[in-house]
Structure formats: C-alpha cells, structure tokens
A and B are shown apart, each in its own frame.
Chain A
Amino acid sequence: MAAIAEVVGTEPRRHSQSYLMGWLTTADHKRIGIMYLLAATFFFAVGGLEALMIRIQLSSPGNTFVTPALYDQLFTMHGTTMIFLAVMPLFIGFINCIVPLQIGARDVAFPRLNALSLWLFVLGGILLNSSWFLGGAPNAGWFNYAPISLTPFNPGPGIDFYDIGLQLAGIGTLMTGVNFIATIINMRAPGMSLMRMPLFTWTTFITSVLILFAFPPFTVNLFLLMFDRLMGANFFNIAKGGNVLLWQHLFWIFGHPEVYILILPAFGIISEVIATFSRKTLFGYDSMVLATIAIGFLAFTVWVHHMFVDGFGPYVNSLFAITTMAIAVPTGVKIFNWIFTMWGGKIKFTTAMLFATGFIPLFVIGGISGVMLAMAPADFQYNDSYFVVAHLHYVLIGGSLMGVLAGAYYWFPKITGRLLNETLGKWHFWLLMIGFNVTFFPMHFLGLLGMPRRVATYSAAMGQAVAFWNLVATIGAFILAISFLFFFYNLFKTLRSGEQAGPDPWDARALEWAISSPAPVYNFAKTPLVRGRDAWWVEKTEGDGHLRSAEPEADPHEEHAHHGIHMPTGSIYPFLIALGLMIAGYGAIFGLLLLVAIGLVLAFFSIHRMIVDEDPGEIVQPVGGDGE
C-alpha cells in the first residue's frame, strides 16, 4: 500500500495521525475505492489459486492430488470468493473511485457509511477465509443448498463461516447500494441531468437498485440458516415441518439479480471505453439506458431458471423460460450499440480498448449459451453439468472480469496518476484470450459428454474424450494464470516507475478526466457546470477546454475567506463497528457467548458514537488551477 499512498498522497492528514490511522479512519471515497480494489485483488489471487488446484485435480481421471473432502471446500471457496469477495468488490472499488468524479461531486452522500461498507467487506472476507485454519472451509457450494448445509449433514463450522462471513460482507454491500442511490440522485453537479449521466454512472445506479432489492432475501436466508444451525430452529428441517426449497427460492431470488449486479457495471465500463477509443459518442444512448433498466427489472423475474429440474411442472417452467429468454433482447441491443459506436469511428487499440472489444465475442458466447440454458427441456440435460460451468465463466470472466480489466487499464492513471505499461498489457490480453478459451470452451463439450459439475474426480471409463478435454482445460488454466502474472508485474512496475499520466491521457469524454490524476481530495476545486452529455468532451470541443464553474464568482475582496472547501473528516468508528461485528461473529461460530457480548458491545458503542459525534468537517484549500 505504501507505493500507492505515495502516488495517491491526496488526503490531508491531521498531524496527530499516524500513516496507518490515516487509512483506517478515512472517509474519502477515493481511498476507500483503492482499499476495495486492493483487498479484492488479494481475494482474486486466493480464488485463482483455488481454481488452479481444482484444475490440477481434474487434469486426469482418478487423480488424487486432493481428497474429495478438500476438493469440496476448494470449489465452494473458489466460487464464493470470486463472486462475493473478488468481482463484486472490484466493481465497487471502481464505483467508489470514479462515480463521484463522473457526476461532479465532492464525495458520496454518506462518507462514513461508505467506510463502514468497506470494513464490513474486508473483515467479512477475512473471517470467511480464516475458516481454512479454524476447522475447515465451507463445503456445500457457493449456493449452499439446504439440507446439505444443515448440521446433521455438515457438523463442522465451515458453513457457519460462510453464513456469518457473507452476512457481514452482505450488509456492507447493501449499504453501498443505498449510498450510491443517494449519491447519484442527490449529488450530481448542476446541469448533470439523469439523461446526461455517463453510462458507468447509470449502470452503477441500476446496480445499486438491484443490490437494494436482492440482498435482503439473501440476508434473510442467511439468518434462517443461522437460526437452524446455531440455535436449533427448523426452517429447513423437513422432520419438523421445515422446507428445503425455501432456501433455493430465496437464494435465487437474490442469486439471479446478483449475476446482473456482476455484469451491469461491466456494461458501463465497456460503454465508456469503447466510446473513448472510437472517438465517438455512445451510439443509442437512450436505448442503452432503457436496456439497462429493462435488464434490471427482468432480473427479478427469472430466478426459477436455476430450478428447472426441481419438478415444478410445465406451466412454471414455461413461464420462467419465457422471462429468461426475454432478457436476451435488451442484452442484444447493448451489443449492437457497442458495435455501432465503433462503426464510423477511429478505433485506437490501447490495452483498455482490447479488453473492451474482446469482451464482445466472449460475452456473446455466454449470452448464447444462456439462451440455450433458458430452454427448460434442454436445460434438463445441461443443468448441473459442465455446460453450466462453461456458461457462467463466459459471462463472468468473458463478461464481468473483462469489464474489470478494461476498467483497470482505463482508470489506473486516474486513480494513481500513472499509466500501466501497454506492452505488458497486450501480453496480458492475448494470453488471457488464449488461456480463457482453451480452458472454458471445452467445458461445453464436457457437459454434453455427461460430466456433472462439482465432482471431485471422474473415471477413465467415462471415455477418452472426457479425459482429453479435461486435460486441455487444465493447460488453458495455466495459460490464464500466466497472463495474470503479466498483470501483477505490470501493477508493481507501474507503481514504482510508471509513466506520469497527466489529467487526460486518453483524450476522454467524462468529467473525471477534467481534473488532475490522481484527483485532489476535494475532487473539483469548484463545483462544475455540466453543459451536455460527454460533459468534458463538450468543454474540449465546444468550450475553451476548461470546466465552467457552477459557483458564483468569488468576491475578490474576500478572496481568502471563502476559498476553503468543506470536507468530511474521517472516523475510526466504522472500522470499530465492523471489528465488533466480526468478533461477535467468531463468538457465534464457536458458541462463545462472552465473545458475542464483547463484540456486540463494541459495535453498538461505536454505532452510538458515530451517530452522536458531530462531524466538524475540515476546510481544505484547493491548490493550483486544474480543478476548474
């Protein structure tokens, strides 16, 4: 972190504060964003190592690299980590770093709540992963179906770590959703009407709404499971009148919107990157916005497509097949709009643009297999086979992660002030494209050849083809892993000696590029006046290349009195609240009531202090003129 802090030395530190306290107490959305990105990158690496172990185990039939018991923990932790602790927080990191800048705001609506979100995610993630050392990791898959997750079938503490860890992280995510809804509705600079917002801000807004409605059912589910496991309740216990499908419904009512939470921000990033490097405004902006809203709405109407084999009968299955296929239409609209944004442009193939254009074929393949899966009777064959594994990786890596990486190469200069190395970036891109397709395309075949997912091994009697494609997939996984070595080396190298970016290295279009890189603590020295879509581009082409200020001209006689900018101060309490809840979580998992009490007291004390302590704020003097 030291290297980054050096570059991003933006926050004015109070003299009494140590370096560490500066980060622990910060309420600056940019620093919070950076910590999201760092923690999520760490978890991404952990999840990646788990994936490599899975692929080594499956490289040949009957392999004994890991035991079945360990294998079950590996695939569970891989999926859970990648979805909850890697990809989603990577997006939240970018959202934090960029969205307030795109709408010309000083910070988010609730800066301290934002810090609380961060710490709940970080500490929840650590709690979940500490299960490896404290009695075994969860082992019932990322969707953790009842009743295999219940004590009779799963007596160890692993599932409790899943339950409590995701409750902590989930509450954090929910608050992020609330925060960004409030931020985007209330804190836009004058002139930034809804239909002038950059697409990344739009998709963040819809994503936040999805979070707001999708996470509560999941939280309820986790609570019911916690009651069953830790307090002897019987929500899922059929012997006592409970119902195991309750979990599945609540899970997928959350789970399908969740996959759109994981893709909508990528849609936003791809829209920004493609428009910038085609040097054109986004094609069909209105229909892009409309499609995003339609997808967000439909996302709540399709959950039973994960349960086609539960035997609900032809009426239910047909209905959900129809709603699911309907989603393909607005998704297709987006694809065509991206292609026609490039049409007639002058495309510059920077690494960010390579990832954004590479996204299109991969995501189209994932969308195609999605429509095939939506045909319920065909899904009777695909379901729970490697075909689904292929689909979800084409949309999650080929879609979501490609979006993250396009965003990483695009915004790294804005976040750190330095440009990632393009040569290393291109190695990363090409190796990733090869490794990814070699790994996951054959999985379509494996599913059709009868290989179920989540098997710790398979028999040679399945046939030579099954062994062959599994070996191919393992080779691909190593190529994919190598591509990320290029990325990590690039990050490391750039932070130490990367080229200085300057405010607007890509000649880009949205407001974040109007201010210095990295952005000053206060973002904009004066709140900007937005005069059109592509707000910064408008100033560069139709204005004088400077942002207009929306604030009244300062009276020259009072120059000093009014030039300061009022900024929120940091606070240690968000961290302490999260820490208290984490301690209580450990207490609950191990049945130590005293620990639960200590943790809750700490949490409630800190919540109380955070409420009653008035935030005096801090007056910051803007430097230079680049914020205008």
Chain B
Amino acid sequence: MRPVKRFVSRLKWPAVLGILTVALSGCGNYFSSRASVLAPAGPVASRELSLIQISLYIMLVIFVVVMGLWGFALIRYRARRNDTSAVSASTGDTRLEILWTVVPLLIVIYLTVLTVQTEFYLTRRPNPTTSLQVSVTGHQFFWQFDYPGLGISTIHNLYIPVGEKVNLTLTSADVIHSFWVPELAGKTDAIPGYHTYMWLEASRAGSYFGECAQFCGVGHYNMHMTVIALPPAQFQTWVKSMQKKGAASGTAWALERGPLPVSS
C-alpha cells in the first residue's frame, strides 16, 4: 500500500478542501431535480417524505453506533508486533446478545407503528361523491385520463384543482405500468385486468412532472406525463372549455392531446 500512502501525502490538501467547499456551497443544485421526492407539493408526498426522514435519522444513528464499534475493534485489536498477550477467550455473552436483539426489536416496532399509521392514512380513499374522480389508463407508451363525471378525456396531461383530493382509479390497456409523480405522491401500478386506487392532492398551483416507473417496453423511458394543478376557479374554466369543445365536435368526450413532455 506504499503507493497509495505516497499519493495521499502528496495530495494538495488546500486544493481538495477548495473543491469540497465549492461542491458543498452548491449543495442545492446537487439535490434538486424536476421531479424530486425531496420537494413534496401535497399532503401525500409530504407524509411519505416525513416517513423517509424519520427512518433515515434513526438509521443514521444505528449506522454511527455500529461503525463506531467496528472501527474501534479494527484499530484497537489489530495484531501488533511484539505483542505476546493472549487473545480473549470469550465465546459469547448472553447479556450482550439479548441487548442487541431487544434494542433493534424495539426500534423495528417503533418503525412498524409509523408505517402502519401512514399506510392507513394514504390508502383511505376520499369520499367519491365530494372528490374529483379520474380514471387513469396506462398505454404503451402514454397515459390517458378520463373524467367520467365530466365527460372529458385527456392524454399526457392530468388537470386537477389545487387543494382538493383527487381520486384515481388505475388500470392498463396492455402491460403493467406504474404511475409516479414524485412531488405529489408515490407510485401505484396500473395492471391489466385490475383496478387499483390512489389519491393525491396538490397544495400549490403548478405543473408536476410524472413518469411511468414500471418497465413497460422500448418506450418506457419516455412514458411521461404532466400533472397540471390549477386554482379551483381556473379548473372550472378549463372544464367548461373542454366540454364546449366536446359539444362542438359532436362527441360527449373531449380529447386534449397535450404536448409530450420533454424527452431527449
């Protein structure tokens, strides 16, 4: 390992520190994206993020403790020259073993409670009579959204009102897809022959990038969508205009073919 040591000692430490400082000060840029789980814009994604954060912090504590013991053992008990002391004859220690069974068990029980609470919160379906209903159909390789109560269909773009729970019923016309809008909610699969359910809500107006997360064929990488959250009044205007278009074209269903969200 000589060469490595020499290499390390020759590194220009001020320069290394400089690069690190630059990288860290640009921190925001390295942890943000167009569709980040870390930037939730609605209650579902927020609950999911807080679960992620709590578990991460607990796990970090565990990691530090385990690595502390590990590092201590490696350094303290490495073989040294001219050390003639005997190795420990210990073959086990019941109290210690009970300790490191029970403590993890307690942690796991705590995490389980959080998990079950969140799970039930997220899968409690909003009242269908008061919330907007949308049927989502996955196709190779695009998303179709039907608003059964409103007589509107769209492709690629899902329009929703801000501040209202939206009830999604998902299925697929061909293979399995997975509906994912990281800033609004985690995934639910769209499975042929099944109807699956999820709800989401946007707390702020804006457009949110969504994708298909389940591998579904050559176009999988490009199966995107946009969720457009409009203030309720504007949403009503959009509904009216779509219905008018539908009436003009002689069908009850209006189709809005949004632009395909940016691909490469």
Contacts and interface: CB of A to CB of B under 8 A. Distances in A.
Interface in A217-265: 238, 243-245
A449 B33 CA distance: 6
Given A145-B176, A287-B97, A448 B37 contact: yes
B131 interface: no
A145 B87 CA distance: 53
A616 interface: no
Given A332-B100, A378-B55, A448-B37, A345 B193 contact: no
Chain B contact-residue range equals 35 or more
A614 B113 CA distance: 62
B90 A244 contact: no
Tell me if A's interface is mostly helix, strand, loop or mixed: helix
A612 interface: no
A211 interface: no
Contacts of A538: none
B13 interface: no
A310 B221 contact: no
A342 B74 contact: yes
A367 to B, nearest CB: 9
Contact of A381 (B37, B70, B221): B37
Chain A contact-residue range equals 35 or more
A426 B1 contact: yes
A156 to B, nearest CB: 12
B146 to A, nearest CB: 18
Interface string A443-466: 001011111111111111111111
A68 interface: yes
Interface stretch (B157-165, B208-216, B249-257): B208-216
B25 to A, nearest CB: 15
A335 B31 CA distance: 31
Contacts of B217: 72, 148, 153
A465 B31 contact: yes
Contact of B79 (A61, A311, A346, A384): A346
Interface string B139-174: 010000000000000000000000000000010001
B218 A345 contact: no
A314 B197 CA distance: 12
Given A238-B193, A332-B100, A344-B87, A371 B176 contact: no
Interface in A287-339: 287, 309-311, 313-314, 317-318, 321-322, 325-326, 328-329, 332-333, 335-337, 339
A348 interface: yes
Contacts, number: 293
B264 A457 contact: yes
Interface string A131-157: 000000000110001011000010000
A279 B87 contact: yes
Contacts of B67: 361, 364
Given A311-B198, A461-B262, A450 B187 contact: no
Interface in B78-128: 78-80, 83, 87-88, 90-93, 96-97, 100-101, 104-105, 108, 111-112, 114-116, 118-123
28 contacts: A61-B264, A145-B214, A148-B175, A153-B217, A278-B77, A284-B92, A287-B92, A309-B187, A310-B191, A313-B123, A321-B115, A322-B112, A333-B97, A335-B66, A339-B66, A340-B90, A342-B74, A342-B77, A364-B63, A368-B62, A378-B48, A380-B188, A381-B49, A381-B182, A445-B30, A448-B36, A449-B36, A464-B29
Interface of A: 61-62, 68-69, 72, 140-141, 145, 147-148, 153, 238, 243-245, 278-287, 309-311, 313-314, 317-318, 321-322, 325-326, 328-329, 332-333, 335-337, 339-340, 342-349, 357, 360-361, 364-365, 368, 371-372, 374-381, 383-385, 426, 430, 445, 447-466, 468-469
Interface of B: 1, 4, 29-38, 45, 47-49, 51-52, 55-56, 59, 62-63, 66-67, 69-70, 73-74, 77-80, 83, 87-88, 90-93, 96-97, 100-101, 104-105, 108, 111-112, 114-116, 118-123, 140, 170, 174-176, 178, 180, 182, 185-189, 191-194, 196-198, 209, 211-221, 262-264
